[in-house]
Amino acid sequence: MKKIQTLLIAALMTTTSAAFADHDSMGEHCKMHSKVTFEQADKDKDGTLDREEAKAVCAEKFDVMDTDKDGTLTKKELNSCGPKPHNEHDKLHQKRSKEFAAADKDADGTLTKEEAKGLKKVYKNFDAIDADKDGTVTRDEVHTFMHKAK
């Protein structure tokens, strides 16, 4: 019974955090890749990001996010982080986060090698993913590894 409660709490925490995510600063996908805010990236303080400034935040989909095609991104354009391409990517991130939470049997936010057995790619690459070599992997370590492996 305690395991079921723990799994339910972990699943609830995973899904509610995505539902209540802060969309005021940048899109979900961009949050996963950037530690720089819009204001920090706006070097000339003109209220928009040109292609060069946007590289610090979320440059990979600049043309998709630039919905008015003026060659700059407003904060609103950046917040949406592009219409469809990122939505699919965000769904994948949410799915993988749920899978991670389900595998995290003790709900401590990390996976041991034993817990990772349910996630084939994570288990197969566990030692490479474990960047700090502490014998466990975090969701961030998995995310970073999977993006580098592309």
Domain that holds residue 69: 2-85
Residue 123 lies in a domain: no
Rounded to the nearest 10 degrees, what angle do helices 84-103 and 139-148 cross at?
130
Q: Is residue 75 part of a domain?
A: yes
Tell whether 101 is covered by a domain: no
CATH number of the domain within which 22 lies = 1.10.238
144 falls within a domain = no
For residue 71, is it within any domain?
Answer: yes
Quick one: pLDDT at residue 150? Answer: 60
Distance CA 112, CA 135 (A): 6
**Any domain includes 52:** yes
Q: Report if residue 76 sits inside a domain.
A: yes
Instruction: List Cβ<8 Å contacts ≥24 apart for 105-108.
Output: 105/3, 105/6, 106/6, 107/6, 107/7, 107/9, 107/10
Mean pLDDT, 10 residues at a time, over the chain (150 residues)? 53 42 43 65 89 79 82 82 58 86 92 95 95 93 81
The domain tally of the chain equals 1
- Please state the pTM of the whole predicted model: 0.47
pLDDT score for 110: 94
